[in-house]
Amino acid sequence: MTKKQTAPTARQEMNGVERLGLRVSSMINHPVAQAQRWVTIHRLDTDGDREWEEVLGVIAETDELELTLNDDGSVTVRWEQQDVEPERRGRVEFEVEEELAPF
């Protein structure tokens, strides 16, 4: 018996916008940031001008987020706590199609 050799899967590299977006998203979703409802994002040397402007543009266009440009070049993102309907809090609903029994 011969083993079938498979070609290694090509690894996709993230571009600068994806990498910065992932970093910002992780910072916003961090438990401490969620508790205080704000986070300060510092631009790294590896963040290009185009990437930085694009990600800040997305944040600025998001209605729930407030953007403050700081004197040191960092950006503070703030948001209000979102209200969740009390009867739906903690519930996850799935749509299930009911099928008739085949008999």
Asked if residue 12 has pLDDT above 80, the reply is no
Name the average pLDDT for the chain.
81
Stronger pLDDT, 82 or 98, i.e. the higher one: 82
Asked if residue 89 has pLDDT above 80, the reply is no
pLDDT digits (tens, 9 = 90+) for 41-85: 999 999 999 999 999 999 999 999 999 999 999 999 999 987 755
Stronger pLDDT, 86 or 41, i.e. the higher one: 41
Give Rg (Cα) of the chain: 22
Which residues, 6 or more positions from 73, have their beta carbon under 8 angstroms from its beta carbon?
42, 43
Structure tokens at 17: 């916008």
Give CATH for domain 16-80: 1.10.10
